[in-house]
């Protein structure tokens, strides 16, 4: 029989406290449990002492500090909910999925989300505005084939791009600008400088009413494959386009109404001929204005059918061109469509309609036809964006007796993040120029495809590579093929 010993109460109380601290330390250091444990306060009497583990709770003994582990970190059910949240929360941090000792959570229990702009250049703060400029330098090679003739050139292209955005409590001003300049290094071929500047001011008039003011400028050189290009010119005409616009939108409950006014001015520079002389094209300068109204019915916040009507007028600076034709015209259009807004997953609109262009000169045939206009953005998964668009417009002709062509343009693009710092791009477009039946001009198709990669070596420096192919086809006559490839660096701030 084992001998019994008498233990006084004072000694009995001190030893369990020491044992308690040792057991608590082992519990926190043990790798087997996936959750922390908190212990209930020790109760002692003259006969025995018990130690009771309690998971997912906090308790404190009289005169001791309460445990601070927290319910969310100790309850296995709560721990699983950190990984499987609802659709309203941000994406889970991937590193947490394989961790046994999860990182400390937030006070409100929300999980961490990834900032989509974490790798972007922060920009330059200018008072209440943020400027994000970028400077690019690329080396390119271009080859142009027209029938049996071939022309190639290598050139340097310098690009400047910037975005200026306001940070106001109400209203917003956004200014975007982009320009490119080319210099031939070897070979033959005309350069193609471009410039683009747009400003948009959004006015938050009330909770249901929003106003918009727009202004813009664009410069580009007319393409040598364009039907209106000067045959045999060494340098085609430069086109300056100025634009102004104003619009207002209002929410009438289930009805949505909008109206806008747009104004554009086209100025054509002189073309340089192969003998060094210049040919003035000022007879193509014109002003164009359009008034558009739209009303929509909200079937749901994500689906809004609408009706749209527009009236426009184009007036040339010279009443008659050099060939004696009066090319000013009026245009009328009606459309019916639907707008879809499913958030960042899918948004856009599509509309079908009919448009007619009526020329002042009775010798020029009116242009009329079915119109298709759409624009959609689709994100099948995070980091992937697919764009698709269709537009319909008119290109006035400069050929004697020809009024112009109805132009349908289809374009699509794909942007995919292969990694957070590596982005792949694909683009494709198809343009149809349809002339009225009986016209001496031939219908034309232009197909353009391109691909590119962008690698952000740092948030301030990126390496880019692009390749593109363009093919212009007509019913008769040789096709024109243009292939380009380039590589360069982009400096961002």
82: buried, middle or exposed (CB in 10 Å: 19+, 13-18, 0-12)?
Answer: buried
Name residue, tokens 């813009």. Answer: 216
Q: Which residues touch 316 (CB under 8 Å, ≥6 apart)? A: 283, 284, 285, 286, 326, 327, 328
pLDDT score at 51: 40
Residue 249 predicted with pLDDT over 90: yes
Task: Give residue 199's Cα distance to chain centre.
Answer: 17
Joined together, the tokens standing for residue 189 give: 């071929």
* Percent of the chain scoring above 70 in pLDDT: 76
What average pLDDT score do residues 434-455 get?
A: 89
**Average pLDDT score, the chain:** 81
What average pLDDT score do residues 231-248 get?
A: 92
Q: Who has greater pLDDT, 104 or 485?
A: 485
Joined together, the tokens standing for residue 398 give: 């400069």
Q: Who has greater pLDDT, 390 or 9?
A: 390
Q: Decide the pairing of beta strands 255-268 and 233-235.
A: unpaired
Answer for the pair 339, 306: CB distance below 8 angstroms, yes or no.
yes
Taken as a whole, the chain contains a residue count of 493
Joined together, the tokens standing for residue 293 give: 């109204």
Q: How far is CA 360 from CA 167, 340, 370, in A?
A: 48, 39, 22
CA distance 22 to 20: 5
Joined together, the tokens standing for residue 329 give: 């015209």
pLDDT score at 98: 52
* Percent of the chain scoring above 90 in pLDDT: 55
Of 45-59, 223-237, 255-269, 375-389, the least confident: 45-59
What average pLDDT score do residues 23-50 get?
A: 42
Name residue, tokens 């009413």. Answer: 209
CA distance 465 to 84: 39
Joined together, the tokens standing for residue 451 give: 């691909």
What average pLDDT score do residues 167-186 get?
A: 94
Q: How far is CA 14 from CA 17, 18, 123, 403, in A?
A: 5, 7, 63, 105
Joined together, the tokens standing for residue 437 give: 């039946």
pLDDT in tens, 298-330: 999 899 999 999 999 999 999 998 888 999 999
Answer for the pair 354, 333: CB distance below 8 angstroms, yes or no.
yes
CATH number for the region 124-492 comes to 2.40.170
Helices (H) then strands (E): counts for the chain:
3, 26
- The listed range with the strongest mean pLDDT (25-29, 281-285, 309-313, 437-441) is 309-313
pLDDT score at 448: 96
pLDDT score at 464: 96
Confidence of residue 478 (pLDDT cuts 50, 70, 90): confident
pLDDT score at 92: 42
pLDDT score at 230: 87
Number of other residues whose CB lies within 10 A of the CB of residue 451: 15
What average pLDDT score do residues 52-80 get?
A: 39
Domain boundaries, the chain: 9-98, 124-492
Residue 87 predicted with pLDDT over 80: no
Task: Give residue 447's Cα distance to chain centre.
Answer: 23
Residue 354 predicted with pLDDT over 90: yes
Of 72-76, 246-250, 339-343, the least confident: 72-76
pLDDT score at 3: 45
CA distance 114 to 30: 32
Residue 123 predicted with pLDDT over 50: yes
pLDDT score at 255: 94
- Following DSSP, what letter does each residue of 147-198 receive, concatenated? TTEEEEEEEEEEEEEEEEEE--SS-EEEEEEEEEEEEEEEE------EEEEE
Q: Is 423 left (phi over 0), alpha (psi -120 to 50) or beta?
A: beta
CA distance 373 to 393: 10
Of 62-76, 219-233, 292-306, 310-324, the least confident: 62-76
What average pLDDT score do residues 56-66 get?
A: 39
Residue 78 predicted with pLDDT over 60: no
User: Across 188-208, where does the E strand assignment appear?
Assistant: 194-204
């Amino acid at each position: 029989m084992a001998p019994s010993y008498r233990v006084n109460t004072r000694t009995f109380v001190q030893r369990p406290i020491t044992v308690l601290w040792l057991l608590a330390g082992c519990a926190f250091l043990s790798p087997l449990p996936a959750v922390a444990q908190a212990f209930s306060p020790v109760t002692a009497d003259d006969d025995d002492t018990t130690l009771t583990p309690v998971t997912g709770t906090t308790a404190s003994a009289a005169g001791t500090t309460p445990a601070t582990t927290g319910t969310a970190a100790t309850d296995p059910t709560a721990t699983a909910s950190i990984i499987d949240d609802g659709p309203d929360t941000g994406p889970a941090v991937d590193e947490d999925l394989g961790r046994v000792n999860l990182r400390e959570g937030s006070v409100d229990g929300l999980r961490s989300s990834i900032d989509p702009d974490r790798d972007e250049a922060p920009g330059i703060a200018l008072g209440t505005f943020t400027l994000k400029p970028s400077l690019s330098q690329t080396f390119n090679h271009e080859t142009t084939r027209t029938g049996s003739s071939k022309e190639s050139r290598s050139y340097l292209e310098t690009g400047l791009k910037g975005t200026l955005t306001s940070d106001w409590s109400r209203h917003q001003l956004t200014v975007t600008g982009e320009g490119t300049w080319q210099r031939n290094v070897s070979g033959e071929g005309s350069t193609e400088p471009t410039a683009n500047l747009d400003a948009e001011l959004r006015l938050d008039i009330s909770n249901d009413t929003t106003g918009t003011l727009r202004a813009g400028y664009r410069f580009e050189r007319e393409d040598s494959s364009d039907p209106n290009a000067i045959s045999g010119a060494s340098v085609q005409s430069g086109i300056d386009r100025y634009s102004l616009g104003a619009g207002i939108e209002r929410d009438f409950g289930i009805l949505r109404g909008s109206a806008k006014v747009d104004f554009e001015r086209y100025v054509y520079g002189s073309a340089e001929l192969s003998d060094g002389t210049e040919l003035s094209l000022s007879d193509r300068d014109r002003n164009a204005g359009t008034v558009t109204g739209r009303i929509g019915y909200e079937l749901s916040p994500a689906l809004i059918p609408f009706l749209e009507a527009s009236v426009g007028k184009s007036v040339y600076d010279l009443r008659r061109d050099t060939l004696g034709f009066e090319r000013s015209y009026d245009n009328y259009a009606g459309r019916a469509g639907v707008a879809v807004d499913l958030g960042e997953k899918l948004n856009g609109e599509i509309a079908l309609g009919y448009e007619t262009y009526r020329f002042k000169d009775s010798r020029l045939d009116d242009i009329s036809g079915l119109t298709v206009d759409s624009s959609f953005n689709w994100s099948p998964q995070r980091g992937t964006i697919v764009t698709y668009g269709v537009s319909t417009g008119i290109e006035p002709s400069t050929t004697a007796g020809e009024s112009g062509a109805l132009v349908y343009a289809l374009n699509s693009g794909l942007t995919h993040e292969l990694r957070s710092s590596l982005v792949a791009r694909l683009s494709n477009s198809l343009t149809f120029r349809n002339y009225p039946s009986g016209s001496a001009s031939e219908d034309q198709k232009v197909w353009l495809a391109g691909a590119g990669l962008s690698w952000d070596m740092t948030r301030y420096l990126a390496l880019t590579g692009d390749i593109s192919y363009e093919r212009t086809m007509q019913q008769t006559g040789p096709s024109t093929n243009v292939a380009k490839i380039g590589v360069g660096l982009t400096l961002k701030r």
